[in-house]
A and B are shown apart, each in its own frame.
Chain A
Amino acid sequence: AQRVTQPEKLLSVFKGAPVELKCNYSYSGSPELFWYVQYSRQRLQLLLRHISRESIKGFTADLNKGETSFHLKKPFAQEEDSAMYYCARGLGRGYQKVTFGTGTKLQVIP
């Protein structure tokens, strides 16, 4: 079964400090990996996906197949980054089901 593990329920950092939200996935072929974000009182939305290799709002995530990880990073945290972050994976090969991790709440302290 596919698994997505986010080991931290809560991550608190000071404004301006680097951020790393951890995500590990169970190995199975060529996964598709995503990060979703849910700001307070807003709907969940896609932040970035590994296939596009882009940086959104200063966040990046690199797929490490050797460590089966897809950690989300940002060099300098901003207060507006405070939100719930979910790592997710698809099976690839066009299979539609996506499995979400349990989420990490990022709290940026002013």
Chain B
Amino acid sequence: NAGVMQNPRHLVRRRGQEARLRCSPMKGHSHVYWYRQLPEEGLKFMVYLQKENIIDESGMPKERFSAEFPKEGPSILRIQQVVRGDSAAYFCASSDRVLEQFFGPGTRLTVL
């Protein structure tokens, strides 16, 4: 089991462009979580998804951010019209029924 995979590991975008971050959960896991870590700050919950459903998006900014976890393929976190303040590390985690979350290595987004 390769663990949670995230790609790309590093992503550079100019202001106004779109960023797409991908997360492949561990095999057999149907729950995916996205977190954001700003420089020198802790982990902040963004969204919790199960296959084809958003369960809790209370941590997602209301505009420009969206997430999906389709029946087939990875979970996608999409940020439209990126701004400098979006620069951060974005972590994905997955779990099965036992609550322990397994984390991916993260994607470091830099907005120029």
A interface list, Cβ under 8 A from B: 6, 32, 34, 43-46, 49, 84, 86, 90, 94, 96-103
Contacts and interface: CB of A to CB of B under 8 A. Distances in A.
A70 to B, nearest CB: 15
Contacts of B95: 96
B103 A45 contact: yes
Consensus secondary structure, chain B interface: strand
B91 A100 contact: no
Nearest to B43: A100
A43 B106 contact: yes
A66 B105 CA distance: 37
A45 B3 CA distance: 12
A101 B44 CA distance: 8
Contacts of A45: 103
How many residues of B sit at the interface, in one of the four size bands?
20 to 34
Interface in B20-66: 31, 33, 35, 41-45, 48, 50, 55-56
Contact of B101 (A6, A98, A101): A98
A90 B99 contact: yes
B43 A86 contact: yes
Given A46-B102, A98-B33, A101-B42, 19 more contacts: A43-B104, A44-B43, A44-B91, A44-B93, A45-B103, A46-B101, A84-B42, A86-B42, A90-B99, A94-B97, A94-B99, A96-B31, A96-B50, A96-B99, A98-B99, A100-B42, A100-B43, A102-B42, A102-B43
B100 A46 contact: yes
B9 to A, nearest CB: 11
A102 B48 contact: no
A103 B43 contact: yes
